[in-house]
Amino acid sequence: MTTATANTFTAKAGWRTRLADNERLLWPLMLAPAILYIVLLVGFPFFLSLFYSVSDVTVGSRSMSFVGLENFRRVVATDTFWTALKNTLIFTIVSQVFVLVFANILAMSLSADFRGKWLVRLLILLPWVAPISLGAIGWLWIYDSIYSVINWTGQALRLLGPNEWPIWLGQPTLAMVSIIIVQIWRIVPLATVILLAGLTSIPQDIHDAAAVDGAGFWRRTLQITFPLLLPITLVAVLFGIIFTFTDMIVVFLLTRGGPYDQTQVLATWAFFTGIQGGDLAGGAAVSLFLFPVLVAVAIVFLLLARRSEVT
């Protein structure tokens, strides 16, 4: 039908109408600007980054030469790199395990109807929707070495002794715990709303049928809800991993990688090396270590999308 109408019009119209009716030309033309922008502003810088990592470029330099894998060798030879790699993995894995548990519990509590639900949802979404750099500053104040409200409350409730006053961001292990808490705080809302969307998509009939057959709450949860929720849980986890593994804001604002680089992650280390240290080549080499995880996540996404297309 479409082609028939198109033909009658092309007969008497000029090139402009012909173009406006020719889908084979129209679609590529409508897509081209967006794709061009993405190629120029994502693709090109990415290849530049690959190029920098095998060169000796610095912030001020006018010329650069090829140095092969020298930057990678140099980066891998430092202790800070290995600390950063280890911390990035701990930061990601520990926070995402907690996110998964918390988000599941929270999503199930929110799937029931109750009064004031919209307000509860607004409150629990705050950490995700507010700019994270500002939320992190809120935590900086909560973790303050002198005025920490956590310590005050701990002492008031006798959880901390009168002389116990943990310096949250000043001791290596505690600092790591602190930044992981903030990352959990930030990602839980996103994972919760994603899981909630999954929960509401499970038809109530299935639950009812299972209940009639005598399945209790736990059995329904473990044998119906969790399996049906698996693909969407995977989506939530993938986003959590991406937004945690490649994040630098939380660490950058709370500890700056300190004390003594003990909370440094790959992303902050790339920033301190490449931007503040002016060693663009070294920074590019560090940041490229983020790439394999990105590729892995992208592949899982593609598999998921293919699966949902088939079913």
Report in angstroms how near the CB of residue 122 gets to other proteins at its nearest. 5
> Quick one: 90 or 215, whose CB is closer to other proteins?
215
> Quick one: 69 or 302, whose CB is closer to other proteins?
302
Annotate 52-65 with DSSP letters as a single string: HHTB---SS-S---
State the Cα–Cα distance between residues 72 and 74, nearest whole angstrom: 5
Q: Which residue matches tokens 């919209």?
A: 118
Report in angstroms how near the CB of residue 282 gets to other proteins at its nearest. 9
Confirm if 154 and 160 have CB atoms less than 8 A apart: yes
Q: Specify which residues 55 forms β-bridges with.
A: 66
Annotate 96-159 with DSSP letters as a single string: HHHHHHHHHHHHHHHHS--TTHHHHHHHHHHHHHS-HHHHHHHHHHHT-TTT-HHHHHHHHTTS
> Quick one: 83 or 287, whose CB is closer to other proteins?
287
> Quick one: 142 or 167, whose CB is closer to other proteins?
142
Report in angstroms how near the CB of residue 264 gets to other proteins at its nearest. 13
Helix (H, G, I), strand (E, B) or coil at 163: coil
> Quick one: 69 or 209, whose CB is closer to other proteins?
209
Report in angstroms how near the CB of residue 142 gets to other proteins at its nearest. 6
Report in angstroms how near the CB of residue 73 gets to other proteins at its nearest. 18
